[in-house]
Structure 1
Amino acid sequence: MGLLSVAALMSAGAAQAADMPAYEPAAPVAVPSFSWTGPYVGVQAGYDWFDADNRAAGRSPQTKPDGFTVGGFAGFNYQFDNSPLVIGAEADINYSDASARRTTSAFTGLPNARIKDDIGWTGAVRGRIGYAFDRFLVYGAGGVAFADHDIKASGAAGGSDDTVAVGWTIGGGVEAALTDNVTARVEYRYSDFGTDKFSVSNTRVKSDVTDNRVLLGLGYKFSTGW
């Protein structure tokens, strides 16, 4: 009888255990290993291909200044929680040694003068939007661009005039986080600085400047508690 009682109790316990729901551990929540959120600064260098469409006295002494550019940038990114979407804003300033010249008879009193276009300082203030693949970011950017444009006429009575041209810019690039604080990127940018008027050697000159450039950048992202 004792053995029968023990067997009955064991059978009842096994039946109750079978009726209990199986324990399943909660699925782990994916946590990004890197966040693009935070302020950053950096340096960049590349090459410019400008197109200066000049018009004076019924002539079109167009030039194509090109040269190296170097500068710096600063901005702020924000990556939404549990999302690959990244938005931000950035400003940069750069110096370019781009210049070009050609012979023209457009200037009054200078029948065989040379017109020269110099593009010195350039910069932009842009908004950015990107898609993050953990430590890689593909982004587009656009905003306001400006450039220091100087037009010169050579000759005994030559002259010059300059202005800060203001226009728009658009572009995009790829950025990678090499460490939690150091990033590297490559970017293409197109800028249209609009049409400006100059007075050079008693001659009115209109000039429309556009620019294509490729830039390589190295940045430092500040650590934040965001």
Structure 2
Amino acid sequence: MKNILTSAVILATLTAAASAADLPRRALPPAPVPLPVFTWTGAYFGINAGYITSTKDVTNTAGVIRTSTGIPLGNYSISVPLQRDGFTGGGQVGYNHQFTPGSGFVVGVEADAAYTDLRGRNSYKSNLAGTNSFRQSGDYLGTVRGRVGYAFDRTLVYATGGFAYAGQTYRASLFQTDIQPNYYGSRSRTETGYAVGGGVEYALPTDSFLNFFRSSAVTVKGEALYYDLGTRTIPVLPTYRNVNAFATRFQNEGVLGRVGVNYKFGSY
């Protein structure tokens, strides 16, 4: 009897073990897939548009009044306001490097070129004779600048500065009569100097209605720059037989504010 009970227990144990072996094994849950982290590293290109205005708005003219035989009668000097402002629009290319993905320091370089409708003109009746007229225009402005900033994930705050250049045209006409000016000067040059400023740039989410590429590579920015291209003095010489000569100094300083859109190569 004892042997029968022992055999039954062993048989039941073996049957239960065999049944457990036939049960399906419980699969481990899949490992979570890490979400990609946005980085500002990469090359980009884009367009911009905004408003530009001069901050130094005075021309200065000086000379010596002489008799027909060349004897000096006295000095002549005038200062004339010459406000200039207008539209600016163009494009930019650049490259950024972010040291740590997500949030961290970002350095880069950017080059841009833009059309500028920066024109000013002023005419008034001279206290000697005729009309004095002054004109200054800027047709384009470009910069090559470094950028240093800090990224808060998709928001980049940066400072910028570097080389600036612009196309400028200067004209001065003194003692204009009904026939022609008695003295006239004109110059067209590419002026050089520097530009500094800062801005904020934001990378659009893929589901934003403004993200027309439906990627994480479209950014929008707002930027302000101050530029200084120095001064330019041009000779204002007689247009026919005369013994006098003058010189007019123009100034080239201003600020601009603009917004832009960039497409960055490499979303993450």
Aligning the two structures, in what range does the TM-score lie when normalised by the shorter sequence? 0.7 to 0.9
For residues 52 and 145 of structure 1, the distance between their equivalents in structure 2, rounded to whole angstroms, comes to: 19
Deviation at 1:206, TM superposition (A): 1.6
Aligned residue for 1:90? Answer: 110
Write the mapping of 1:194-205 to structure 2, written as runs, cut at 5 A.
194-202=230-238, 203-205=246-248
In the TM superposition, residue 64 of structure 1 has moved relative to its aligned partner by 1.3
**Residue of structure 2 in register with 1:192 after alignment:** 228
CA distance in 2, matches of 1:31, 1:80: 19
What are the within-5 Å matches in structure 2 for residues 165-180 of structure 1?
165-178=191-204, 179-180=215-216
1:53 is matched with 58
Give the AA of the match of 2:248.
V
Task: Tell me, in whole angstroms, the C-alpha distance in 2 between the residues paired with 1:94 and 1:120.
Answer: 9
Q: Which secondary structure state, in structure 2, belongs to the residue aligned with residue 192 of structure 1?
A: strand
Question: Structure 1 stretches of 5 or more lacking a match?
Answer: 1-27
Q: How far did residue 190 of structure 1 move?
A: 0.7
Identity among equivalent positions (%) equals 38
Q: For residue 160 of structure 1, report the CA deviation from its aligned partner.
A: 2.3
Structure 2: unaligned runs, 5 residues or longer: 1-31, 63-76, 205-214, 239-245
Residue of 39, 43, 46 corresponding to 1:39: 43
Aligned twin of 2:210? none
Say which one has the larger Rg.
2
- Asked if structure 2 preserves the Cα contact closer than 8 Å seen for 1:145 and 1:191, the reply is yes
Give me the TM-score of the superposition, normalised by structure 1: 0.78
Maintained 8 Å contact 2:135/2:171: yes
Using the alignment, how far apart are the partners of 1:62 and 1:149 within structure 2?
17
Q: Point out 4+ residue stretches in structure 1 off by more than 4 angstroms.
A: none
Q: Does 1:162 align with 2:182?
A: no
- Give the aligned partner of residue 212 of structure 2: none
Number of aligned residue pairs: give it.
195
Does structure 2 retain, via aligned residues, the 8 Å contact 1:146–1:167? yes
Q: Does 1:128 align with 2:147?
A: yes
- TM superposition shift of 1:105: 6.8
RMSD: 2.5
Instruction: After TM superposition, give the deviation of residue 104 of structure 1 in Å.
Output: 4.9
Equivalent position amino acid for 1:206 in 2: R
CA distances 1:81-110 after superposition (whole Å, capped 9, x unpaired): 35510000111101111211112578xx97
1:48 corresponds to which letter in structure 2? I
Task: Indicate conservation of the 8 Å contact 1:161/1:200, yes or no.
Answer: no
CA drift of 1:60 comes to 1.6
**TM-score of the aligned structures, taking structure 2 as reference length:** 0.66
Deviates more, 1:109-118 or 1:132-141: 109-118
